[in-house]
Structure 1
Amino acid sequence: MNNFQKMANSALDELSNVFAKMNDKDIRPLLDSIEKADRIFLLGAGREGLSTREFAMRLMHLGKEAHWLWDDTTPAVSPGDLFICACGSADVSHENVICDNAKQAGANLLLITPSSEGYLLSIADIVIKVPAMAYKAVYHSEDDYVPTNQMMGNQFEQALLIFFDVIVMMLKDEMDLTNEDMEARHRNVE
């Protein structure tokens, strides 16, 4: 086996092990919150943010009113809105401030993280754990994560992208939508 295949297989095995530690019960609060929400706001920073922004797009394709926080057209957060933050360490200063502001505006804060400690855990209404290794995350037990040979949070960032796509597939089925329903909402002027 060449070096590329060896490293690729290692990364894929790690991701398989991350998802093997999760089940329907772990993610049910996320599914229910999204299905009930009239408006959803999403936040993530860096590479976690790239995965989360992709999720915002797919929520729109599902027919949800979804807003990526950093877009210039994002409206004001209101009471009852769902505010989803993906944060590996659960403690990034600007995300802490933004999530505090969202809570003060009346949003329900849903945090997606692998971390066992961090400011955002103390203010989140719902926490969804993705048991991957993230940059600067704190773990209380080796059962809380899958060991990695990758650097600087790669495993969590990769897991987020796949995690969000699986959530969208589940929501599509639960909302009784078809691929064609979603494709009809895709941007059509490109």
Structure 2
Amino acid sequence: MNTVEYAQVIINELQSSVSQLGEADTEQMADLLLRSGKVFVAGAGRSGLMGRAFAMRLMQAGKDAYVVGETITPGIAAEDVLVLGTGSGETQGLVSMAEKAQSLGAAVVAVTLTPESTIGQLADYTVKLPGAPKDQTGGSSITIQPMASLFEQTLLVFYDAVILRMMEKTGQTTQRMFGKHANLE
């Protein structure tokens, strides 16, 4: 296959994955984030990068949003939400974050391939995304892409869908959001 053909396969896989998203999950997460205080986002590796993009859009939509681990990230409190993007749901650092957030009374959202995982079980809200796990030694036929690429792509699309739903519920516009776009570039 050439690059264009690979790209088309990726688009087809993503289309199939996105078609499995639950409307109720997007609605529930949008409502939770809208009524929350601060929103904290975390993930490891590429899932963490998708979370960083989500935190940026949350900030542009007017939410106090933070990426866990940054030097300017404040403490989490009872009215806040921790959103964890994790394919496996077993990343130890994320498990510790979920436990700490819950001990302080914050809500925990797991966006994951594996709701039965440790983080999925700890979470107050669990969103199951389709995709393939990082370890595909069993010969996954879901995707031709390496490791958890399909999950990570679906994660970003899901996060963007949540932002769009929040925008719709609050009357937010792209033009107003652009006013919060970085301007020291």
Which residue is equivalent to 2:155? 160
Which residue is equivalent to 1:141? none
Per-residue deviation, 1:116: 4.1
* Separation in 1, partners of 2:146, 2:184: 39
Which residue is equivalent to 1:29? 28
Which residue is equivalent to 1:142? none
Per-residue deviation, 1:166: 2.1
* Separation in 2, partners of 1:99, 1:84: 9
Preserved contact between residue 89 and residue 136 of structure 1 (Cα < 8 Å) = no
Per mean C-alpha deviation after superposition, the further-off stretch among 79-88 and 157-166 is 157-166
Gaps of 5+ in 2: none
Q: Note closer, same or farther for the CA distance 1:13–1:146 as it changes in structure 2 (3 Å cut).
A: farther
Residue identity over aligned pairs, in percent, reads 29
Structure 1 segments, 4+ long, off by >6 Å, are none
Preserved contact between residue 30 and residue 163 of structure 2 (Cα < 8 Å) = no
> Aligned letter for 1:69?
V
Per-residue deviation, 1:187: 2.1
Which residue is equivalent to 2:42? 43
Per-residue deviation, 1:146: 8.1
Which residue is equivalent to 1:62? 61
Cα deviation per residue 1:85-133 (whole Å; 9 max; x = unaligned)?
0010011111111111111111100100011431111110000111111
Q: Note closer, same or farther for the CA distance 1:136–1:93 as it changes in structure 2 (3 Å cut).
A: farther
Preserved contact between residue 121 and residue 127 of structure 1 (Cα < 8 Å) = yes
**Is 1:13–2:12 an aligned residue pair?**
yes
TM-score between both structures, scaled by the size of structure 1: 0.90
Per-residue deviation, 1:134: 2.6
Q: Secondary structure at the match of 1:41?
A: strand
TM-score between both structures, scaled by the size of structure 2: 0.92
Which residue is equivalent to 2:143? 148
Equivalent runs, 1:68-83 vs 2, <5 Å: 68-83=67-82
Per-residue deviation, 1:78: 0.8
